Amino acid sequence: MDATSPAASWDVLSARARRAPASEPVEQPAPAPLVLLVADLAGLVEVGERLRRRDHLLTDRAPAQDLDRRRHDEDGGDEERDQHECPHHVVRGGEQRVHTGGKHGLRLGKTRRACGHSPPEDRGQLRHGRRRNVGQSLTVEPRSAVKPWPEIVPRLVASDIDGTIVPHGGTVSPRTRAALQRYVEHGIEVVLVTGRPPRWLPPVVEATGLTGPVIAANGAMVVDAGSLEPIEVRAIPPEHLGEAVERFTAAFPDAVFAVETPGELLVGPGFAQAPARGRREGLTPEGPPVTEAASLGELLDVADVIKILVRSPASDPDEMLATGRAEAGHVVSVTRSGVARPLLELGPVGVTKASTLAEHARARGIDRADVVAFGDMPNDVEMLRWAGHGFAMHDGHHEARAAAPYLAPPVEEDGVAQVLETFLAARPLSPVVEG
């Protein structure tokens, strides 16, 4: 109890009265009803504050991976993460991170105070169901430290698509399209690096207005954005196809399979009927060509398999990924890109977004230090590590956030556009005039 509270003052007077000699009677004031009421209220406030602090400690000690799993329900819906509402800041590792100009400080630690930017209507509302009063310290999740944004103008911008420039179930915003096109106008190459097969690229190419090469199928293919003609194809060796399927069948009794080729999707027995979780990604064509195989043998008896899809409806997505890496990581590359989906993507061993992007940059004489990359899921991890400046999306998977030295605002807030705009604002360039 606070020593200055009315209740504490009353206790002090009572103690003095008990210690006073009998010859010096002390006149004890009668406890006023108002004083007692204030004391009771002060006690209740103190108890409530202790319970609040205890609840916050329990919440903030939750493992980061568990917090990530709570982000997605079985329908693939994203919970909004703890993030400062001001568009100039992103909370990470207990830091108030300044992204653009303005009069701000940087305060490290587990708490921070709201900045002076114009807040939304309900500034006291914090996500994950916790509420704070205006001006009160905000408790944030403990995460790894993230560097302040660099002041650079890259020579190459590499961006994932789904969850990075296309919100799950959404489309490319006008702001993101404008930011990408501004780099193209300044002679800076922008390349899409995606897990999508070529047949899923046309809506995205149209929405972004980008031309030139696209790295698809997690690095297994490079295609021309306009014609979808293959530039490079890296197929899974036939001897690895059967071994990978055998290993995953042993590890996941309910596993069903499909394979991607440069031109079509071929599904095996039970794949189309298996329960599917998660939302359909945005900007995907309706009715892609799908061929059904009568047996696993027929499924694997095709040429140029660039990706094997493994679905295990009973599995947890992250646990499935860890098991797949342990069981077959030496036979095929194992990753995943779907939100809340127990679906793995297997490619040629050693082939990733990073390996193909590195070759792409090397062929153009671009050093990795001049590359900026954006991504949000496990299939982006190698690329985010390889690039000189890797940015994970703030609402991305915990593996992507751990791999990247930098953090971009969420895709719903045009995070990629915000970062790219900041780079050019720091070092203005003149547009390149052709001819």
Cα torsion angle, 294, 295, 298, 299, sign: positive
pLDDT of residue 81: 34
Residues 162 and 243 reside in one and the same domain: yes
Q: Is residue 124 part of a domain?
A: yes
Q: Which residue among 107, 123, 140 closes a domain?
A: 140
CATH number, domain of 335, equals 3.40.50.1000
With respect to residue 332, please indicate whether it lies within any of the assigned structural domains.
Answer: yes
Say if residue 315 is exposed, middle or buried (CB neighbours under 10 Å; 0-12, 13-18, 19+).
Answer: buried
User: Does the predicted model carry a pTM greater than 0.85?
Assistant: no
- For residue range 316-357, list pLDDT tens digits in order: 999 999 999 999 999 999 999 988 889 999 999 999 999 999
The answer as to whether 334 is a domain residue is: yes
| Residue 423 forms part of a structural domain | yes
- Residue 47 placed within a domain: no
pLDDT tens digits, 143-180: 344 578 888 889 999 999 999 999 988 999 999 999 99
Does residue 342 come out as left (phi exceeding 0), alpha (psi in the -120 to 50 range) or beta?
A: beta
Is 64 part of any domain?
A: no
- Domain identity same for 110 and 204: no
Backbone φ and ψ of 389, nearest 5°? -140, 90
pLDDT at 425: 86
Stretch (H or E) spanning 43:
helix 33-60
User: Using one digit for the tens of pLDDT, what is the confidence trace for 112-130?
Assistant: 333 333 333 332 232 333 3
Pairing of strands 265-267, 290-292: parallel
User: If pLDDT is split at 50, 70 and 90, which confidence band does 428 have?
Assistant: low
Of the two residues 56 and 145, the one the predictor is more confident about is: 145
Contact between 160 and 167 under an 8 Å Cβ cutoff? The reply is no
Domain coverage including residue 136: 83-140
**Which residue from 398, 386, 285 is spatially nearest to 336, judged by alpha carbons?**
398
